[in-house]
Amino acid sequence: MMDGRTVDHEAARRFGRNLYAARRRAGRSQEELAALCGLHRSSIGLVEHGRRLPRVDTLMKLAGALEVEVVVLLGGIEWLPPPPRPAPVGFVVQPGS
C-alpha cells in the first residue's frame, strides 16, 4: 500500500524500467528530468525503482520532458479485469436481469 491505495507492483516495476530507458535515450540525468518536471530527484528514483507510480499529470510531464509519447512509458503494462465470480449457491439468475 502506498498513499492508502493499492499499487500494482508489476506495473510499477515495468513503468520504472520504461522511464529509465526513455531517460537514458534522451541523455538526461535524474536531476535534469526532475527539474524539467518540477519534481525532486528522489521522486524520479522512486519511480524508476518501481516503488512509486506517478499520477496522470506527472506522467504527462515526464513524457513531455523526455519528448516521448505517453504510450512509450506505459509500454508492456496492461490490466485485465478479473473473471466474473460465480453466483452464490442457491441464487438463480433470471434472464434479462
Give the CATH number for residue 43: 1.10.260.40
* pLDDT, tens digit, 9 for 90 and up, residues 40-91: 999 999 999 999 999 999 999 999 999 999 999 999 998 888 888 887 777 6
Mean pLDDT calculated for residue range 25-53:
97
CB 82 within 8 A of CB 93: no
Which domain range does residue 65 map to?
A: 9-74
Determine, yes or no, domain membership for 70. Answer: yes
Residue 3 lies in a domain: no
Say if 53 falls within a structural domain: yes
pLDDT for 27 beyond 70: yes
Does residue 56 fall inside a structural domain? yes
Confidence of residue 19 (pLDDT cuts 50, 70, 90): very high
- Does residue 47 lie in a domain region? yes
37 within domain boundaries: yes
Residue 92 lies in a domain: no
Number of domains observed in the structure of the chain = 1
Give this prediction's pTM: 0.79
